[in-house]
Structures are given as structure tokens and as C-alpha cells.
């Protein structure tokens, strides 16, 4: 075995010093090899990649999780290469590994960083036990367009919520020590602005003013890096004409300069090569130079660095010190992960949580992700003791694979408990009348409607599981029409005609336009793709064993024409006013030309979303009163406390997520009409009342200004508190210089 990689004493030397000792003995080709990430999937990866690994030309592999295969690849790297530098094994561990938790957008509905941290920790343990040590998560792109397939991976539309939950996910993956059992290095993606792709189309261009970039899109990345994220991934898209993978302003000025980040930056899949397609680089050599000089360390899949950087260094086109810095960051990460001491992952063999513990966590995460959006006349919860028979209908009612959702490569569908199985376990098979009605969510064949209507007719109530299959969201799966596909609305019509109460459960990877669904059902639960334990979680909520508390992390549009729609919009010079809104049906034929309402709205869909950010119902009711501030004025450096009284005015115990919003109504840059600045979970018994307090500091009032300095500006600030972003309770204070 080569000994250079093991020459330093792991007990006394920090990871960087250990990496420096290895780097000092490397050739240019070996340095560039550390920057080269390749796909190890497919048959016989050792035979295909072995010679390149042995020659030191591959530093990391992706998409291989078989422990025996990985040990074989690692053996070649450690025992056959000149310096014995181990491989870094990576995988997209997005919302679980073998056990699948709700989609990130579903987890975000919990507004619970502890839960998000626990899910990431469990996924890390399972993945590390298989040999994976690096995950390409979390995705903290702000997402305001439901057409975009990757909204499923996001944490929503709000910078604060995405920051808090993204940081928690990093902490869950990485723990306190990257070398500890069951840890993965996190990779925050996609830097930056990927969620603003034009038209909701993946990979498309983005045009983001610096004000918007710094105040909306960058904060979650900064929070994730502050939480210790070891690496960051570039976006596919361009930012104002400069693709992110070659964008020196993003990667050099901001990431390396202002933020002083010295971790690994990796390109997305072939995004260095795509600099040519974008039109930034004329050939692969130019693309390699653009990416390296911008600040990218590792090349995923394009081979640009390994093929061109050594030659460019020899020719003086790229300084060797840059190549050294790139390789040193990769080697330092490997040292921090403990790979030099334990390349075969023996430390992590028993790191996975027990199957029972993972299952219990998946059930808890799933039920905290389910959002109750409609509940007319107390249609829910259902009294299982009083029900003779329950109809379960719909194409998503018994789909163990589909309920896991997008970005699932290693999930075990045999661990999935579907709504059908969970209801049969809860009620007994003879009390559940099941009829899928449609083969898939996209099916238009109505031949199964008759059986579904018969099942409904003989039952006390109907649960109908609708939505979209997992493949309809995720990367490259964007939709222009985000209504329910296939004949699902027609199925609702048929069920409605039975006269039985109809409860819809929507299982999807994105917000859908729900207006036509809402008018056809008595209650609606938005379940997203909730993972392996979606079925038991739904039973918990539908039966009332668990009182839902989840809140939306993203606004739901009334129609696709409202997109992009988000609560933290700008006021404009002519903000919409409810009493001035004119609807298209109210305009007389032949009316003279006039600017109806003279404000920012759509004639056919107003200006409000179907459901606002932060919205979610409970089986009880929470009333808000007495919003008070500790002072009317606040000096710089002081803390001001906002207090609000919350009362459980219903007849059962429940949890409420209390939210605090502010607005800076007059600033050197226009500010959003509202910004989330705090949230707290409180459990209240029926009739219980509690005062909830939020501390506001100067930092909470700050933003990146015209000069790119982050500071709070003196003046008045509005404050609101309530159960969603439309909260009505209001107060005002003044920040003094």
C-alpha cells in the first residue's frame, strides 16, 4: 500500500495539515484527479474505472451504493494508486436513503427544525452504513413557481424558513464531527437562484437583480454554511448572462470573498461542459479555465478538469497555486471525513438506525407534513368507532412506490405502508371498500368509476386519494398545467353524486391548483409525497388520533396564471385594494376603456393566492388577541419584545405555529409587504390561553442595501402576529439612530 496518504499522525494533525502532506507529493495529474467525479453505476464499475482510479485520475464516485462494489473500488484507490488516496463516495440522499421520509417541501410544512434534523440524521446513518459519505443536499433554493419540478426538493418560498430548516438539515447530516459514525458531508445546492428559472422550466435562465439575489436567494445558503456545511454545488442556470458554474461574482466575490468559505465547491452534473452550450466558453479547455478561475473545485462528469488543467498549468494559462488550492480543499474534506484512517467505512457499518426507529420517525415526519386545507362542517376527523364501512378510492390509495416521491434511488418500497393497508389495519378489511377507479393519476379511462361509486354508495364516508405520480415532479419534470391530471376531477364528480361526505387526500410533489377540487369535496388534506409511512400518518390524522398542525411553506396559486405568487411581494406604486377589484364577469360588454381598480391584480383571478404562505387548519380553533410591544421605540443594539395572546377556542388539544411578520414601509430600497421574522410551536389544551413572546433585534430589521452593506435603517416598522401570512393583528414601533 502507498504510504503518503497515511504519513501524517491522525491523532495530532488537523485535516488540512494532513491534506497538505499528501498534496506536497502529488503530480499535476494527481492533483487534477482529485477534482474528477465520475458515475460508478452500471455493470462492472471496477473493470471500467479501475485503471483510472489506480492512476490517480479519479477523486470521487457517484451513484454506487453496493457495499461490496464500493469496497472493491476503494481497494484500488488505497492499495493500487501511487499515493493511496481514498475515494469520496457521493449520492443524492435527499429525503431518506432506505427509509424514505416526506419530500423536503413536505418536511418544511412541519416548520420543525428538530424534526428535519432528525430525518437527515437517520438518512445519513443508513447511507453511511452502505459506504456513502457525501450527499448532495440540502437544496435551499427559494421556490416561488409551482410549475418547477424541483420545488419538491425545496424548503419553500421564504428566506427565513428555508434558512432555519436548511441549517437543521446540514446539522443532521454532518453531526458535530464529520468522522463520527453515521455522518455525511452535506452539499448545499444550487448556488444560486436556480429556483427562479424562467417559466418554471428546469435549467432555464435566471435574471435576478442584486437586491433580490442578496435579500431573498442568498440568505439560506449563508445560513447553511454558517451551520458548517462542508460543500456547495453550483446551479445549472446562468445569472444575468453568466452561468453559475463560471460566475466569479457568485463563487469568488461573494462565496470565497465576502463569506470566506473555504470548503469544496462542486459543479452540478456536466455543468462545466455546459458552459459551452450556454455560449460562455468556446471549447472544453476554455470551460475548464472559466470554472476553475470562478471558484469551482470539483468537476462532476464533464472531465474538463482532468483533461485540461494539468496542461494549462504547464502552459501558464492557469496558475499552479489555484490547482493546489482546489485539490487541497478536496483532500481536506477527505481527511475531515476520516477516510484516510477508515477508507472502507468500518466506523459506519452499524450506524444505521434500527428499522423500527426509522419507521417511527418516518411516521412522525409524515403526519407533521400533512396540511389540512379544508374542513367544512367538521367533516374530519372521522369517528372510526361509529363507521360501519369506509370507502377508499383513487389511483394513489395503494401505491407503495409512488407515495415515496421524487429523488428516491435507494428507497425500499417494501417498507411503504399505503393508505389502503393502514386503513385495513385500523378498521379491518371488511370495513374498507376499496376501488382505485383509475389505474394511474394520468389515466382517462373511466371504466373503474362504476365500482368506485358502488363502494361509496355502501359506505358512510369516502376517502379519495388523488394527486400526481412521483415521476411528475423533480428534476426536469416541470409542468405548464398544474391541475390534477387525467380524469381525477371527473372521478370527484361521480363520487359527489353519491351524496356521501367526500374527503380528498392530495399526494403530489408540488402545489396544484385546487379551486376545482375544493368545490367538490367536504375536506381536503394536502399530503405531498409523504414517504414510506404515508398511510399510517394519514390514518392518524383522518381518525383524529393526531391533530394536524402543519403550515404551508409556499403559497398555493388559484391558477397557473398567477405564478409567480408569494406572500413577500413588493407593494408596487399601485397595490391591490380588495374593494377596488373588478372581476372579468362584472365588466359590461362594450364598456368604455378604463383602468379598472388601477392596481396590481388579474381581472380573472384577483391578487390573493388560493392558500397563503403559513396557512394550515387544525381540528380546533386558535384565536389571537392583544399584540403588544415592549416599547414604541427601539435604539440600535436594543431588543424589542412583541407579545401576542393565543387562545385555543375549540374543544380539543392542538398545536399552533405562531408566526411573526414585519415590514419596513419606507427604506432606501423597497422592501416586501411582509417578512417572516419568527415562529414558535405551542401546544394548548381546549380553552387554554398563552402569551407568546418574540424578541426583535436590529439584525432582524436589517437588509442588504444599495451599497451591499447589511444594516437596519432607522424609521418605523410594522409588526403582525397570527396563524399565517395574512395575520391581522398589527402594531408599530420606531428604530432610532
Residues designated as active site: 268
User: Hey, how many other C-beta atoms are within 10 angstroms of the C-beta on 575?
Assistant: 13
701: closest CA among 661, 654, 730, 731?
661
CA atoms within 13 A on the CB side of 697: 2
- Please give the C-alpha separations between residue 381 and each of 129, 130, 416, 539, in angstroms, as whole numbers: 40, 41, 24, 10
Please, which residues have CB within 8 angstroms of residue 233's CB and are 6 or more apart in sequence? 136, 187, 188, 189, 190, 191, 265, 266, 267, 268
Q: How many CA atoms lie within 13 A of 73 on its CB side?
A: 31
Closest among 266, 156, 139, 238 to 190, alpha carbons compared: 139
Residues 58 and 491: their CA atoms lie apart, in Å, by 53
The 3-state DSSP class for residue 133 equals coil
Q: Coil, strand, or helix at residue 66? A: coil
**Cα–Cα distances in Å, from 383 out to 9, 37, 417, 427, 501?**
65, 55, 22, 11, 13
Burial 82-99 (b: 16+ CB within 10 A, else e): ebbbbbbbbbbbbbbbbb
Q: Positive or negative CA dihedral for 284, 286, 291, 292?
A: positive
Q: List the end-to-end C-alpha distance of the chain, in Å, as a whole number.
A: 66
Strands 633-635 and 729-736: parallel
The contacts of residue 495 (CB under 8 Å, 6+ apart) are 393, 452, 453, 456, 462, 464, 502
Report d(CA 556, CA 377) in Å as an integer.
23
Asked if 440 and 487 touch (Cβ cutoff 8 Å), the reply is: no
Beta strand spans in 508-602 (E): 523-526
**What does the DSSP 8-state code read for residue 403?**
G
CB 425 within 8 A of CB 466: no
Which H helix or E strand runs over 240?
A: none
Q: Is the peptide bond before 548 cis (omega within 30 degrees of 0)?
A: no
- List CB contacts of 683: < 8 A, sequence separation 6 or more: 653, 654, 655
Residues 6+ apart with CB under 8 A from 713: 664, 667, 668, 701, 705, 735
DSSP 591-644: PPP--STTSS-BTTTBSS-SB-TT--B-SS-EEEEEEEES-SEEETT-EEEEEE
685/620 Cα distance (integer angstroms): 10
User: How far is Cα 325 from Cα 19, in angstroms, rounded to an integer?
Assistant: 11
Joined grid coordinates for residue 523:
375536506
What's the rounded Cα separation, in Å, for the pair 19 and 5?
8
C-alpha–C-alpha distance, residues 673 and 678, integer Å: 16
Alpha-carbon distance values, 342 to 5, 31, 38, 230, 337 (Å): 12, 21, 22, 19, 9
575 vs 581: CA distance, rounded Å: 11
Pair 624, 726: CB distance under 8 Å: no
Amino acid at each position: 500500500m502507498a504510504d503518503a496518504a497515511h504519513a501524517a499522525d491522525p491523532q495530532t494533525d488537523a485535516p488540512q495539515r494532513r491534506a497538505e502532506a499528501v498534496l506536497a507529493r502529488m503530480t499535476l495529474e494527481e492533483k487534477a484527479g482529485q477534482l474528477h467525479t465520475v458515475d460508478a453505476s452500471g455493470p462492472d464499475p471496477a473493470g471500467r474505472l479501475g485503471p483510472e482510479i489506480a492512476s490517480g485520475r479519479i477523486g470521487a464516485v457517484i451513484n454506487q451504493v453496493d457495499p461490496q462494489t464500493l469496497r472493491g473500488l476503494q481497494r484500488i484507490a488505497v492499495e493500487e494508486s501511487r499515493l493511496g488516496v481514498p475515494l469520496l463516495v457521493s449520492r443524492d440522499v435527499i429525503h431518506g436513503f432506505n427509509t424514505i421520509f416526506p419530500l423536503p417541501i413536505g418536511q418544511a410544512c412541519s416548520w420543525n427544525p428538530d424534526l428535519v434534523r432528525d430525518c437527515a440524521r437517520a438518512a445519513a446513518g443508513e447511507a453511511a452504513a452502505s459506504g456513502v459519505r457525501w450527499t448532495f443536499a440540502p437544496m435551499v433554493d427559494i421556490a416561488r413557481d409551482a410549475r418547477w419540478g424541483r420545488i419538491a426538493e425545496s424548503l419553500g418560498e421564504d428566506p427565513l424558513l428555508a434558512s432555519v430548516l436548511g441549517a437543521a438539515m446540514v446539522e443532521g447530516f454532518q453531526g458535530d464531527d464529520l468522522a463520527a459514525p453515521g455522518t455525511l458531508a452535506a452539499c448545499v445546492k444550487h448556488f444560486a437562484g436556480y429556483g427562479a428559472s424562467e417559466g418554471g422550466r428546469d435549467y432555464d435562465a435566471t435574471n435576478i437583480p442584486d437586491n433580490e439575489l442578496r435579500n431573498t436567494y442568498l440568505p439560506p445558503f449563508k445560513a447553511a454554511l454558517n451551520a458548517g456545511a462542508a460543500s456547495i454545488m453550483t446551479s445549472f442556470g446562468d445569472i444575468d448572462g453568466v452561468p453559475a458554474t463560471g460566475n466569479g461574482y457568485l463563487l469568488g466575490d461573494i462565496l470565497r470573498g465576502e463569506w470566506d468559505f473555504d470548503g469544496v465547491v462542486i459543479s452540478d452534473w456536466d455543468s462545466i461542459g455546459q458552459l459551452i452550450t450556454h455560449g460562455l466558453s468556446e471549447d472544453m479547455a476554455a470551460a475548464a479555465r472559466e470554472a476553475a478561475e470562478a471558484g469551482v473545485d470539483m468537476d462532476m462528469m464533464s472531465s474538463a478538469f482532468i483533461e485540461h488543467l494539468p496542461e494549462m498549468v504547464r502552459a501558464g494559462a492557469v496558475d499552479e497555486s489555484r490547482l493546489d488550492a482546489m485539490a487541497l480543499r478536496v483532500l481536506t474534506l477527505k481527511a475531515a471525513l476520516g477516510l484516510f484512517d477508515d477508507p472502507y467505512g468500518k466506523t459506519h457499518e452499524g450506524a444505521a438506525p434500527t428499522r423500527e426507529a426509522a419507521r417511527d420517525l418516518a411516521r412522525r415526519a409524515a403526519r407533521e407534513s400533512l396540511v389540512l386545507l379544508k374542513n367544512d362542517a367538521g367533516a374530519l376527523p372521522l369517528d372510526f368507532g361509529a363507521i360501519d364501512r369506509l370507502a377508499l378510492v383513487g389511483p394513489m390509495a395503494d401505491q407503495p412506490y409512488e407515495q415515496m416521491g421524487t429523488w428516491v434511488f435507494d428507497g425500499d418500497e417494501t417498507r411503504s405502508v399505503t393508505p389502503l393497508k393502514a386503513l385495513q389495519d385500523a378498521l379491518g378489511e371488511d370495513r374498507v371498500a376499496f376501488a382505485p377507479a383509475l389505474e394511474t393519476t394520468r389515466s382517462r379511462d373511466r371504466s373503474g368509476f362504476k365500482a368506485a361509486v358502488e363502494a361509496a354508495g355502501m359506505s358512510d364516508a369516502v376517502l379519495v386519494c388523488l394527486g400526481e405520480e412521483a415521476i411528475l415532479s423533480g428534476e426536469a419534470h416541470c409542468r405548464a398545467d398544474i391541475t390534477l391530471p387525467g380524469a381525477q376531477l371527473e372521478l370527484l364528480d361521480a363520487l359527489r353524486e353519491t351524496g356521501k361526505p367526500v374527503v380528498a387526500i392530495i399526494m403530489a410533489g408540488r402545489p396544484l391548483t385546487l379551486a376545482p377540487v375544493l368545490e367538490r369535496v367536504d375536506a381536503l388534506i394536502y399530503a405531498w409525497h409523504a414517504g414510506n409511512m404515508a398511510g399510517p400518518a394519514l390514518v392518524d390524522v383522518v381518525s383524529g388520533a393526531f391533530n394536524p398542525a402543519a403550515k404551508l411553506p409556499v403559497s398555493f396559486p388559484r391558477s397557473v396564471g398567477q405564478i409567480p405568487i408569494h406572500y413577500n411581494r413588493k407593494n408596487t406604486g399601485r397595490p391591490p385594494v380588495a374593494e377596488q377589484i373588478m372581476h372579468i364577469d362584472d365588466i359590461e360588454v362594450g364598456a368604455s376603456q378604463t383602468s379598472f381598480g388601477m392596481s396590481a391584480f388579474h381581472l380573472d383571478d384577483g391578487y390573493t393566492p388560493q392558500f397563503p404562505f403559513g396557512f394550515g387548519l387544525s381540528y380546533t380553533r386558535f384565536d389571537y388577541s392583544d399584540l403588544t410591544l415592549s416599547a414604541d421605540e427601539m435604539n440600535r443594539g436594543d431588543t424589542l419584545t412583541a407579545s401576542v395572546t393565543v387562545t385555543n377556542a375549540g374543544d380539543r388539544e392542538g398545536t399552533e405555529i405562531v408566526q411573526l411578520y414585519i415590514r419596513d414601509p419606507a427604506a432606501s430600497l423597497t422592501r416586501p409587504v411582509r417578512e417572516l421574522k419568527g415562529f414558535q410551536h405551542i401546544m394548548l389544551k381546549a380553552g387554554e390561553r398563552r402569551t407568546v413572546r418574540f424578541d426583535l433585534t436590529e439584525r432582524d430589521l436589517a437588509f442588504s442595501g444599495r451599497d451591499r452593506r447589511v444594516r437596519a435603517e432607522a424609521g418605523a416598522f410594522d409588526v403582525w402576529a397570527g396563524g399565517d401570512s395574512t395575520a391581522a393583528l398589527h402594531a408599530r414601533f420606531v428604530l432610532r439612530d
